[in-house]
Amino acid sequence: MATPPTLTDRTALERNRKRALRSPALFLQETAIDEINDRLGMVNKTFSAPAFTAGFRDLWQRAFPAAVCFEDRENLGLTDDAFDLIIHGLALHWSNDLVGQLIQCRRALKPDGLFLAVLFGGNTLSELRACLAEAEAEIRGGLSPRVAPMAEIRDLGALLQRAGFALPVTDSLPLTVSYPSVANLMRDVRQMGETNALAARSRHFTRRAIFERAAEKYQKAYATKTGRITATFDLIFLTGWSPDASQPKPLRPGSASARLSEALGTTETPLKD
């Protein structure tokens, strides 16, 4: 099997997260925790061996004090068949091998164990990304790597199945946040620990003119009537179960004992050959 390309510089990512803790803006982490708790509340099952990983482990540990914490890295170091619940807390979008991490989590689950993950989806900061790209193309005549490729919700269900999860479900929570200016937005991104940690990122400082031009474009395209700008954050949630014989199975095609038209009280119209 080919080795996945190295997209994320893990050293830079950890540095960004540590820097963020000096003056954190972790409201999206807190929102993700609340949403995970809501989903757990809808599951009719008690978990006795939970575990989690996250970029901001202290915050998630306070939310799930009974869970075992494991470090967010490419090799999660999990023991097979050890847990009945694994939570991946807003860090999976930085993985160099997303499917590989899903497989690691599935193998670490006991039969009928639950996997819950939240990650940033492809619409996250779409406005800022577009304005920066346009500004850089105008001023430099090209683009430098700034944002890691983020998965779309339509693809993630298939990735859960590929990793061996049963009953996969994906859903999203789009959030719109307003800021006084682009500078305030970029400061928040820094204090979230989500600034550029791509392995292929430019090691040179971005010219101030690029940021100023991007801010002009952003203000023109996305300002509200009050003069504030809006930014999109796309939280995607993944749910999957470790396979077990007790789980419901889909019926074999053609095995139905009643016609759908009879159940709906309608007339069936055969299709032409």
Convert the pLDDT of each residue in 119-135 to its tens digit. Answer: 999 899 999 999 999 99
Map out the domains of the chain with their CATH numbers: 10-246 (3.40.50.150)
First to last CA, the chain: 44
Among 94, 86, 95, which residue's Cα sits nearest to residue 50? 86
Q: What percent of the chain has pLDDT over 90?
A: 72
Q: Residues for the chain: how many in total?
A: 273
Q: Which residues of 75-113 are buried (b: 16+ CB within 10 A; e: fewer)?
A: ebebeeeebbbbbbbbbbbbbbbbebbbbbbbebbbeeb
Residue type, 114: L
Task: Return the closest-CA partner of residue 165 out of 93, 108, 120, 212.
Answer: 108
Does the pLDDT value for residue 157 go beyond 80?
yes
Largest Cα–Cα distance of the chain, in whole Å? 69
**Which residue's entry shows tokens 């006084």?**
180
Q: List the Cα angle 216/217/218 in 5-degree steps.
A: 90
- Residue 51 sits at φ, ψ, to 5 deg, of -150, 160
Q: Which of 89, 84, 87 is nearest to 49 (CA)?
A: 84
Of the candidates 32, 64, 30, 86, the one whose C-alpha atom is nearest the C-alpha of residue 236 is: 32
Q: What is the pLDDT of residue 267?
A: 74
Percentages helix, strand, coil for the chain, rounded to the nearest 5? Answer: 35, 20, 40
Give backbone dihedrals phi and psi of 33, rounded to 5 degrees, phi first: -60, -45
Res 142 pLDDT > 90: no
pLDDT at 151 (0 to 100):
79
Query: Ranked by mean pLDDT, which of 21-25, 144-148, 151-155 comes out on top?
Result: 21-25
At position 38, the amino acid (one-letter code) is D
Asked if pLDDT for residue 251 goes beyond 90, the answer is no
> If you average pLDDT over every residue of the chain, what do you get?
90
Q: With contact defined as beta carbons under 8 Å apart, do 87 and 116 qualify?
A: yes
Tokens 């090209």 -> residue = 142
pLDDT band at 79 (very low <50, low <70, confident <90, very high): very high
pLDDT at 269: 73
Residue 35: in which H helix or E strand, if any?
Answer: helix 27-41
Q: What is the pLDDT of residue 207?
A: 85
User: What local confidence, expressed as pLDDT, does residue 71 receive?
Assistant: 94
pLDDT computed for residue 2 by the predictor: 58
pLDDT score at 144: 72
> pTM for the full model?
0.86
Q: Which helix (H) or strand (E) holds 236?
A: strand 229-241
- Which residues contact residue 167 at a Cβ distance below 8 angstroms, ignoring those fewer than 6 apart? 239, 240, 241, 247, 248
